[in-house]
Structure 1
């Protein structure tokens, strides 16, 4: 029987993704050849910690499941430090989706960058160095994070497209067709299909190679795609209607206490509770990030400074991140 919710927000790994019901008919994909989930490499300590300590709200759990069921990207917006990028690591860990693919967006990012990179100069150099050796295009081509996520895996891959609002104005529109159709072409490979109908190409994040038939890639299980935005720009309606939108807000007292408890693996002490209260009292004056509070609590736990010095240090560690009227809460 189908399971709702598939993602529980408990941070305990389970195989609930296997009970995800079939996609809506308009979001069904049939890419081949079917690929097994790649083995998860050793995860860096910071990313593992972020995944294990993420605390999802009920709204987050509901909208993550909506994106999974509908096979739609999840657009996550909100102030800095509210856990936008950590969400995908938490979901991937709980649902055992394998290593997270990450595409960090800049003003120069293009759709091509996310799909694949081809280096014709390295191919030319290799041919000159060893004229008699065969050097195919596939030896100089690597799939990008988006291109890898859209391979025909039997289970969804997790993809983070971080800070999409920093992109060129055209990128969201350029993404529309690829995310809607779940497929793309590699023209450099298509031109060689008469002689080599299939090619073994490297994927993002590892030296593993996968087979691409006739220069075309089509997904099978639509990936769990999280696009993050700090709200610095508006997106086209056509882009928004193809996404499930989640707006994260600054956590309230109980949620913030839960976050602190998760990060330090114990109940906040009296001074930590004081810092939480002061942090919350300042939130209305401008943007603050939760990790600023965590930094202040960590230093308070790790030093023997007097209370007055700790207060002064905490104030310096929690400046507003945007233009806003300053307050004298500290």
Structure 2
């Protein structure tokens, strides 16, 4: 099994190497990068490229590691025992399998995405160390040990909101998705908008990279945001000449697709004001 770019996903060579290395080592692939650089989409494309089903575990600030294994509903069992329900005799009726259990008991190999692990409590990664390393866990209520029939391809994403423990990092193959170079970004755009004219694409991406490189920007626009912006430009049937910035603000056309907070909008307004005050302007 080897991962390659797909018809709908352009993967740089270093990312392809990282995915295949993690698969060969049978270690979780920890993927970091700016929000919107395609970390979550990577797992879907790996599953598609390798021809495997995918399970997705979306992590929130309240998510506990135990939920990935299983949850025991003691309250429902107590209620059923009070009502005289027959099903109360089997504790398995009150155990809800988590995503890791589902991945472990799957008939074949699957891709397991643990998405945005850095949203959870700092102890969350440590609580999964043994399970991801040994590919097994114990169910205390039934006394059974659940072992993976086939070691899943585990992809873990992080937006770098908090540091992950060293012990956890040692068990992962790490890759940072860099923001794509202009030619790679052009290839990504052509996958989504195959009919886009070269002149419009060049003008739009030139302006986009100028925005990203503006000093003082709080949130740089990402790949997903430039795709949204281009979709709007095409919907409005704008030509390259229509992309000229508003001289009063220096803001690009339809800037709401690229700039997502008022500080960055005000930044371009201040830059325009300073430019007008310069001699000869």
Separation of aligned partners in 2, 1:116 and 1:126: 20
Cα RMSD for the two superposed structures: 2.6
The structure in which a higher percent of residues are helix is: 2
- Aligned 1:302-317 pairs, distance under 5 A: 302-304=235-237, 307=242, 312-317=252-257
The structure with more radius of gyration: 2
Gap regions ≥5 residues in structure 2: 246-250, 273-281
- Aligned 1:283-298 pairs, distance under 5 A: 283-285=212-214, 286=217, 287-298=220-231
Which residue in the other structure is 2:61 paired with?
107
Matched, 1:280 2:209: yes
- Aligned 1:183-194 pairs, distance under 5 A: 183-190=136-143
Match of 1:145 among 99, 108, 131: 99
Separation of aligned partners in 1, 2:261 and 2:48: 30
CA pair 102-315 structure 1, distance change in 2 beyond 3 A? same
1:216 alignment partner, SS class: strand
Which residue in the other structure is 2:278 paired with?
none
CA pair 65-225 structure 1, distance change in 2 beyond 3 A? same
Which residue in the other structure is 2:116 paired with?
163
* TM-score, normalization by structure 2: 0.82
Which residue in the other structure is 2:29 paired with?
74
1:54–1:83 Cα contact (<8 Å) kept: no
Q: CA deviation at 1:184?
A: 0.4
Match of 1:264 among 189, 193, 211: 193
Which residue in the other structure is 2:156 paired with?
227
1:261–1:268 Cα contact (<8 Å) kept: no
Separation of aligned partners in 2, 1:126 and 1:269: 66
Separation of aligned partners in 2, 1:269 and 1:68: 37
Matched, 1:124 2:78: yes
- How many pairs does the alignment contain? 257
Structure 1 range deviating more: 302-311 or 134-143: 302-311
Matched, 1:176 2:119: no
